[in-house]
Amino acid sequence: MTTAGQVTAFAGVIALAAVSPGPDFAVVVRRSMVAGRRHGVVAGLGVATGVFVWSIAAAMGVAAILQASAVAFTVVKLAGAAYLLWLGVTALLAARRDGPAPELVAGRDTGARLRISYRDGVLCNVFNPKCGVFFMAVLPQFVPIDGRPADVLLLSTVAVVVTVTWFTVVATLVAALRRVLARPRIRRALDAATGAVMVALGLRLAATSA
């Protein structure tokens, strides 16, 4: 049975991974910046969904395929790289035309537009094979040898809670600065910066070795 100490240590590891700048962080920041806190939080929920998927996949051994099969790793990483490049190019085009993409305009919190933010969070995380490798390396360190499905579910839930908490904080802080960030010159600069970061992350992911 997983102990309280193991749960606390696992939460700390997940927190360190969550706060590290990466594709997930870039997506949540952009959604919060151009569409508001709600969209940022929903994107964070999407990322957390991906985290849950990877943790369960690691427990079931599915994620091990990424370590054992260069082909599987390459397929997932290229899909993720392509998606990040698409997000980056979209941001760069928004900077060029002096405005965010229509589906991200603030004040339009329809279900369809919120689903776009959620989708981007999910796909950004699920299409990053390094997340699968991370959970394959970390999860076994905290699951007891005689661990039950309940232990895996507990740790997966902890990972989700930590991820959602962090990205809610990020979305709240970015949204609080939207009055300043909404100024045309600053918005264009931030769109260009986040677009460039996403393109760079996409290219870096594409170059990652199994």
* Other beta carbons less than 10 A from residue 92's beta carbon: 18
pTM of the model: 0.79
What pLDDT digit, counting tens, does each position of 88-123 carry?
Answer: 888 788 777 665 554 445 445 567 789 999 999 999
What pLDDT digit, counting tens, does each position of 51-93 carry?
Answer: 999 998 888 776 666 666 777 778 777 887 888 888 788 878 8
The pair of structure tokens assigned to 164 is: 């959602």
Are the CB atoms for 117 and 34 separated by under 8 Å? no
CA distance 156 to 54: 9
The pair of structure tokens assigned to 89 is: 């190019």
Which residues lie closer than 8 Å to 105 by C-beta, 6 or more apart? 34, 35
Of 127, 19, 148, the closest CA to residue 82 belongs to 127
Which residues lie closer than 8 Å to 179 by C-beta, 6 or more apart? none
Residue 25's pLDDT is: 92
What pLDDT digit, counting tens, does each position of 182-191 carry?
Answer: 667 777 777 7
